[in-house]
Amino acid sequence: MREAFEIAGHSIAPGERALVDLPMPKLSSRTSLNMPVHVLHGRRDGPTLFICAALHGDELNGVEIIRRVLKTRSLGRLRGTLIAVPVVNAYGLIHESRYLPDRRDLNRSFPGSDQGSLAARLANLFLEEVVSRCSHGIDLHTGAIHRPNLPQIRADLDDDETLHLARAFGVPVLLNASLRDGSLRGAAGDLGIPTLLYEAGEALRFDEVSIRAGVAGVLNVMRKLEMLPPSKRKTDKWREPVVSRRSAWVRAPESGMLSTVLPLGAQVAKDETLGYIADPYSGQREAIVSNTDGIIIGRLELPLVHEGDAVYHIARFETDAGNVALQVGHFHADHADDKDAVEN
């Protein structure tokens, strides 16, 4: 028989699930604040996986992804242990903000310490109580406000096991991202815990395709880890994700009113027109042209821009980018008519 899973004074027996509160520093009003943590402790041995969202308090797609994952029926046959934290940064969430009340970015504050700043203490709490207990992790993010991202995985793809899981997730674009100082992914990497970062949609919005692809991705990774039985559904039709090792931002050449021409996922060539910036008074406009070949993986939606603002994020590929664009199209078609996801 497996041993019980112990967390914050709670003991969760094999085959049980529990919602455990981790106490966090109180609000200035002395209102208590907790980090609720779902623990699903399978009957049989297997990996321990964390999935977490809203590390940046305004990035909400992951909260809904975790809600849907936790309703999945096959979790009744879970091997290993799933630890799901829908909201890591409740301080940011209640202010609709990416940051903490001390204006720090939690994802630059790892590994943190129990004697440090508020951000350092929260990072330390999450790392000690959750991450360090796990063998694998998935951290769910979105783009910034007004800057949606094409669903993508960012991970250290030079690590074989991380690459293996990234491919299993099931999004068309994988971005090789070296471990960033102070990030959760970096701290987990230092502990030898392969961790994927899923980026999809934008802050303060639910995006249905991003959410469905995220739910499918988490379950795909759990199947790859043999935490869940294999899917009876046919595997996705669009097959092979493509790795990008370089990406670049195209910035506004001028201030004014932005109208964009190309959508997320579009293939672009160097010097191709991506959009226009108009002077609202004279009506004259200037084209924004791409500085590289590639696929648009992030895009500004807000029409108001200043010179120098980041407008398009373009991933470069060593393979034919036309093939990537085709896969993006298949990917969208798959998740647009995913009826199972709607019922959840």
Residues lying near Zn ion in the complex (CB under 5 A): 56, 59, 141
Q: Closest approach of Cβ 84 to Zn ion, in Å? A: 17
Tell me how far, at minimum, the Cβ of 141 lies from Zn ion, in Å.
3
- For the chain, the first-to-last Cα distance in angstroms comes to 33
Shortest CA distance to 11 belongs to which of 45, 39, 37, 46? 39
**Smallest distance from the beta carbon of 108 to Zn ion, in angstroms?**
11
Q: By C-beta, is 41 or 185 nearer to Zn ion? A: 185
| Tokens 């046919």 belong to residue | 234
CB of 105 to Zn ion, least distance (A): 9
Other beta carbons within 10 Å of 176: 18
Pick the closer one to Zn ion by CB: 195 or 290. 195
Is 56 or 313 the residue whose CB approaches Zn ion more closely?
Answer: 56
For Zn ion, the closer CB: 141 or 332: 141
CA proximity to 307, closest of 250, 261, 248: 250
- CB of 230 vs Zn ion, minimal distance in Å: 31
In the complex with Zn ion, the residue whose CB is nearer, 56 or 167, is: 56
Annotate 67-110 with DSSP letters as a single string.
Answer: HHHHT-GGGGG-EEEEEEES-S-HHHHHTT-SS-TTS--GGGS-
Among the listed residues 331, 306, 330, 308, the one whose alpha carbon sits nearest the alpha carbon of residue 210: 331
Residue 99, judged by CB atoms within 10 A of its CB (0-12, 13-18, 19+), counts as middle
